[in-house]
């Protein structure tokens, strides 16, 4: 094993870990934002249903599908970040070997 490549492997692992932290933070922020919007929409629907005299929806039937949708929408960004970060690390590794 080439001892000169060891510091690069450590740096690559650190870089990948930092990309993962960024992806987790982005997921957290976007999911929180999407969930907040879903909660406001759910509450507006509940108020409208109540004013129309229609029974209100349960959280299970009304809000949970919105949260699932928020999670799906938010999961796209971390995947893109991790893909881009991994690609950048691989490009840096190829350049370091050359």
Count of domains for the chain: 1
Mean pLDDT of 41-55: 96
How many Å apart are CA 71 and CA 2, to the nearest integer?
43
Residue 26 C-beta-side C-alpha neighbours within 13 Å: 16
- In a domain, residue 52? The reply is yes
Instruction: Check residues 40 and 5 and name the one with the higher pLDDT.
Output: 40
| Count of C-beta atoms within a 10 Å radius of residue 35 | 17
Confirm whether 1 is domain-assigned. no
**Segment 27-50 mean pLDDT:** 97
* pTM tops 0.85, yes or no: no
The reported pLDDT for the residue numbered 89 is 92
Residue 24 belongs to what domain range? 11-97
4 lies in some domain? no
Q: What is the pLDDT of residues 67-90, one digit of tens each?
A: 999 999 999 999 999 999 999 999
């Amino acid at each position: 094993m080439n001892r000169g490549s060891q510091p690069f492997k450590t740096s690559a692992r650190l870089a990948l870990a930092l990309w993962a932290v960024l992806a987790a933070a982005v997921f957290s922020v976007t999911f929180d934002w999407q969930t907040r919007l879903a909660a406001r929409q759910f509450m507006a629907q509940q108020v409208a249903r109540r004013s129309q005299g229609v029974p209100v929806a349960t959280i299970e039937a009304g809000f949970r599908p919105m949260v699932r949708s928020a999670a799906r929408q938010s999961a796209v960004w971390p995947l893109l970040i991790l893909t881009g970060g991994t690609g950048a690390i691989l490009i840096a590794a190829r350049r370091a070997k050359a």
